[in-house]
């Protein structure tokens, strides 16, 4: 049977695939046309194209696929092309709502108008801050004001003059004293002194006092009229000043309105702005007076920056000048928290109080992407509190509502705003992984309604002459974009070999260009150290090996424990019920194979197969499934007309971590068959593969890592020429073994067998024929299957015998 095992040896040429540099058709990548166009992603690109073109609001896009397949680059490139042919979206600004200041108004403006409007309003405020004070200082204004003062002064003086003339006619004098006006008697044109007045006859005194009392009443009337006249004067001055200011403001605002003719919303806003400026013209005077105290500050030329005039300013949320940008925006938000997504309202601390106004409203990514595309990393979005909920709300309502997290959670009570919502028409593109997409579809009923298109990127592509040429052109484009040295044909072939190995299939190569790009940049570094003008195959090989070396510390430590005998793995001799299985350990992005010793023990029992890994909760569900399948295989293949009377145990020796997967089920079955047949297994062989209930050996993953892991153990313990591995036949196309393993196989020092059935595998492992049932239903004597069935039949007979002795049929364990 050992000689017959050669029939299952895999031909050497099928153990690896290497790209022949001569077939590439160029000397270096300088000789070919560079192209960074993605290939092999037609299905995903069609989905992205559809999402970029369709106008319905709920056809947003979720992009997923393996990391390193240039998902983000493809999305950005295609969206940029589509956006270039789209119209430039309108601008949006917030302006003060003078009636309700806590609810600012949002204005839609033609593209490029927002910045012009802000500049015009700033210039308007600056001009009025100079013109209004200048108006009140002008000679014309001062002359007109003096005329009003003189008019009202004359009216007061006329009344007093008339009273004085009347008093004079009655021999009464109207005198002005420091205490005001007073009336006194006169005689012969002279004011009577008090003593002289008392010397007058009594009847004459009474007449004079009567005349003075009457005139005093009239004087009081004149004096009482003075405040009324002063008020009327002030009103006249105020009205005159308002007329003069109003005319100036209207003329200046009218000039501004003409610059935005045809924009109805702005015409109305300018009208409101004008009336408010006229009503608060005194503010410009106060500001000018304050500025005069600081003659070197230049405040008048920068009046729009002063908080006094914030109410008139324009808060530009989005502005896209037509001459500076063509098409719609493509915005990528790398930190999609609530504030950066939907915008925020900032606050200022004044006198220990947080205050705000509409000028402190800041735009979010949705504002900047309005009318275009917004690209977000899905995992980052979902990790930010309330961001996902806010995004869904905006997409459902098609408006952007600015609400802070503190307001949503009612954590703060402070001055806040309720800005008018801005309509939004944005195509949102989420980039994530397949698991995240599945979770959203399953757990969020809104997701399917809002994200109706999915674009899944492929992990690999078929290896053909056409795709090989596309790969070379992509590598050439990468070197130019990253400013690297060109590659010769051998280096490109080495990268393609690595891409094929990453795909784990000699008929395909990986589309995870990101990993290859890292190798390429490291190879460029090594080429620079050698002062080479180009990157060759040796640089690529060194980059690959150095990358593996940096990540292989754990692998090397595990390998050392086996070489020193701490972990026992036999690669020579024979043993009953013991076989070498192959496992894979993954650490970050590095994966390596590790052999493990699997042992089985069997005895008479009640038909129970004990999986020790599962019993101690170290075995995962897939591993347990594999054990149950092989148990059923035993029960249905051998002694089928007798009760299954086996008690067996399986264990991964010296395994202290979790084990999952069914790739060891074939090895476990072989250990059981060896134990039952009492036939030893060659320990220089290792096995990988899952087993079906019909006895077929099925494909497994990471076959190259597993073969290489056992090969390294054999090298450490010494290659004897009898060592090798058994793999499923369906995994032959996945073999891409290292150069050293390929050389060892060529030299006959190591072997790789491909098996399809359990019978083939047990025959190779034991060196005995497995045996096939004859027409009489029995196996040939001396074969493995004969020995296994005989043992199980003996167990069954003994069990029946013991049961009859005990008067019971089945408490045997």
Instruction: Kindly list the catalytic residues.
Output: 663, 706
Tokens of 568: 């026992």
> Residue 403 CB: number of other CB atoms within 10 A?
18
Query: Measured in whole angstroms, how far is the alpha carbon of residue 580 from the centre of its chain?
Result: 45
Residue 624: partners with Cβ closer than 8 Å, 6 or more residues away: 611, 614
Closest CA to 171 of 205, 137, 202: 205
Q: How far apart are CA 485 and CA 525, in angstroms?
A: 9
CA Rg value for the chain: 48
Q: Write out the two tokens for 786.
A: 């004969």
**Residue 386 falls in which region: left (phi positive, over 0), alpha (psi -120 to 50) or beta:** left
Strands 646-652 and 590-604: antiparallel
**Three-state SS for 664?**
coil
Q: Give dist(CA 807, CA 801) in Å, integer.
A: 10
Residue with tokens 């309604």: 449
Q: Give start and end residues of each alpha helix (H) in 718-783.
A: 739-746, 758-766
Please state, in angstroms and as integers, the Cα–Cα distance from residue 255 to each residue in 261, 267, 274, 286, 288, following that order.
10, 12, 12, 25, 23
- The residues, any chain, with a CB within 8 Å of residue 514's CB and separated by 6 or more, are 67, 68, 69, 70
Determine phi and psi for 671, rounding to 5 degrees. Answer: -65, -40
DSSP class of residue 780?
A: P
Q: Which helix (H) or strand (E) holds 776?
A: none
Question: How is 439-471 classified by DSSP, letter by letter?
Answer: HHHHH-HHHHHHB-EEEEPPSEEE--HHHHHHH
Element (H, E) at 635: helix 621-637
Whether 366 and 336 have beta carbons less than 8 Å apart is answered as no
Tokens at 552, concatenated? 């292989």
Q: Which two tokens stand for residue 267?
A: 């015409």
Q: How many CB atoms lie within 10 A of CB 288?
A: 19
Question: Phi and psi for 372 in degrees, rounded to 5?
Answer: -140, -130
Residue where the block lists tokens 């409203």 = 361
Sign for the CA dihedral angle at 198, 201, 204, 206 comes to positive
Tokens representing 253 are 């605002």
Q: Identify which of 793, 782, 797 has the alpha carbon closest to the alpha carbon of residue 678.
A: 782
User: What is the CB neighbour count within 10 angstroms for residue 694?
Assistant: 11
Alpha-carbon dihedral sign for residues 80, 84, 86, 87? positive
The alpha carbon of 122 is separated from its chain's Cα centroid by a whole number of angstroms, namely: 37
Count other C-beta atoms under 10 Å from residue 68's C-beta: 19
| Other Cβ atoms within 10 Å of 606 Cβ, number | 14
DSSP 750: S
Which runs of E-coded beta strand occur in 170-254? 172-177, 180-187, 190-191
Please tell me the distance from the alpha carbon of residue 171 to that of residue 191, in angstroms, as a whole number: 9
d(CA 607, CA 796): 10
Q: How many helices (H) and strands (E) does the chain have?
A: 27, 30
Q: φ and ψ at 696, to 5 degrees? A: -85, 145
Which residue(s) pair with 752 in the sheet?
Answer: 725
């Amino acid at each position: 049977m050992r000689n017959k095992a050669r029939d299952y040896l895999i031909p050497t040429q099928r153990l690896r695939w290497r790209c022949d540099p001569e077939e590439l058709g160029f000397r270096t990548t300088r000789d070919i046309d560079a192209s960074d166009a993605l290939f092999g992603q037609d299905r995903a690109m069609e989905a992205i194209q559809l999402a970029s073109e369709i106008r319905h609001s709920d056809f947003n896009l979720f992009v997923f696929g393996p990391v390193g397949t240039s998902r983000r680059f493809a999305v950005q490139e295609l969206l940029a092309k589509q956006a270039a042919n789209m119209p430039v979206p309108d601008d949006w600004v917030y302006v003060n709502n003078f009636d309700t200041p806590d609810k600012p108004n949002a204005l839609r403006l033609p593209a490029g108008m927002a910045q012009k409007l802000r500049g015009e309003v700033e210039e308007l405020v600056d001009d009025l801050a100079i013109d209004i004070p200048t108006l009140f200082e002008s000679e014309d204004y001062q002359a007109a004001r003096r005329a009003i003062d003189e008019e009202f002064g004359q009216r007061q003086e006329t009344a007093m003059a008339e009273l004085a003339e009347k008093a004079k006619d009655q021999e009464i004098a109207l005198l002005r004293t420091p205490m005001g006006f007073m009336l006194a008697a006169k005689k012969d044109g002279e004011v009577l002194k008090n003593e002289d007045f008392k010397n007058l006859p009594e009847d004459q005194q009474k007449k004079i006092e009567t005349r003075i009392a009457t005139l005093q009443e009239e004087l009081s009337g004149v004096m009482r009229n003075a405040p009324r006249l002063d008020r009327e004067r002030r009103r006249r001055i105020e009205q005159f000043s308002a007329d003069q200011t109003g005319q100036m403001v209207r003329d200046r605002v009218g000039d501004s309105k003409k610059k935005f003719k045809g924009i109805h919303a702005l015409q109305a806003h300018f009208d409101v702005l004008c009336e408010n400026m006229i009503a608060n013209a005194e503010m410009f005077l106060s500001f000018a007076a304050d500025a005069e105290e600081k003659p070197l500050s230049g405040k008048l030329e920068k009046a729009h920056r002063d908080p006094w005039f914030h109410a008139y300013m324009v808060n530009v949320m989005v502005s896209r000048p037509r001459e500076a940008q063509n098409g719609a925006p493509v915005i990528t938000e790398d930190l999609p928290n609530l504030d950066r997504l939907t915008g925020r309202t900032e606050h200022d601390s004044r006198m220990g109080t947080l205050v705000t106004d509409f000028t402190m409203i800041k735009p979010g990514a949705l504002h900047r992407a309005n009318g275009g595309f917004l690209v977000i990393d899905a995992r980052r979005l979902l990790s930010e509190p309330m961001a996902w909920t806010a995004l869904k709300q905006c997409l459902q309502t098609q408006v952007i509502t600015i609400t802070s997290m503190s307001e949503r959670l009612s954590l703060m009570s402070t001055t806040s705003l309720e800005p008018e919502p801005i309509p939004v028409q944005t195509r949102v593109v989420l980039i994530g992984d397949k698991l995240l997409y599945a979770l959203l579809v399953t757990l969020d009923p809104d997701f399917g309604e809002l994200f109706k298109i999915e674009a899944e990127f492929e992990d690999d592509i078929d290896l053909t002459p056409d795709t090989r040429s596309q790969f070379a052109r992509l590598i050439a484009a990468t070197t130019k974009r990253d400013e690297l040295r060109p590659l010769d044909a051998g280096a490109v072939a080495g990268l393609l070999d690595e891409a094929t190995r990453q795909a784990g299939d000699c008929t395909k190569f990986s589309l995870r260009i990101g990993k290859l790009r890292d190798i390429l940049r490291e190879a460029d570094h090594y080429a620079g150290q050698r002062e080479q003008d180009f990157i060759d195959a040796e640089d690529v090989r060194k980059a690959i090996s150095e990358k593996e070396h940096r990540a292989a510390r754990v692998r090397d430590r595990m390998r050392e424990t086996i070489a020193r005998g701490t972990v026992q793995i036999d690669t020579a001799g024979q043993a009953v019920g013991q076989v070498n299985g192959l496992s894979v350990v993954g650490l970050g992005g590095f994966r390596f194979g590790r052999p493990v010793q699997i042992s089985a023990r069997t005895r008479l029992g009640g038909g129970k197969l004990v999986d020790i890994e599962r019993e101690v909760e170290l075995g995962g569900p897939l591993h347990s499934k594999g054990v149950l399948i092989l148990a059923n295989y035993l029960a249905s293949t051998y002694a089928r007309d007798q009760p299954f009377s086996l008690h067996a145990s399986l264990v991964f020796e010296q395994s202290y971590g979790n084990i999952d997967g069914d790739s060891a089920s074939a090895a476990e079955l072989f250990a059981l068959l060896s134990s039952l047949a009492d036939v030893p297994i060659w320990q220089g062989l290792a096995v990988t593969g899952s087993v079906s209930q019909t006895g077929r050996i099925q494909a497994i993953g990471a076959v190259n890592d597993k073969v290489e892991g056992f090969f390294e153990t054999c090298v450490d313990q010494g290659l004897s020429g009898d060592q090798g591995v058994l793999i499923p036949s369906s995994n032959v196309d996945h073999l891409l073994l290292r150069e050293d393993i390929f050389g060892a196989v060529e030299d006959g020092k190591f072997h790789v067998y491909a098996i399809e059935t359990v019978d083939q595998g047990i025959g190779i492992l034991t060196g005995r024929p497995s045996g096939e049932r004859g027409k009489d239903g029995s196996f040939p004597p001396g074969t493995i299957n004969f020995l296994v069935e005989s043992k199980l039949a003996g167990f069954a007979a003994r069990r029946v015998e013991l049961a009859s002795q005990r008067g019971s049929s089945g408490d045997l364990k």
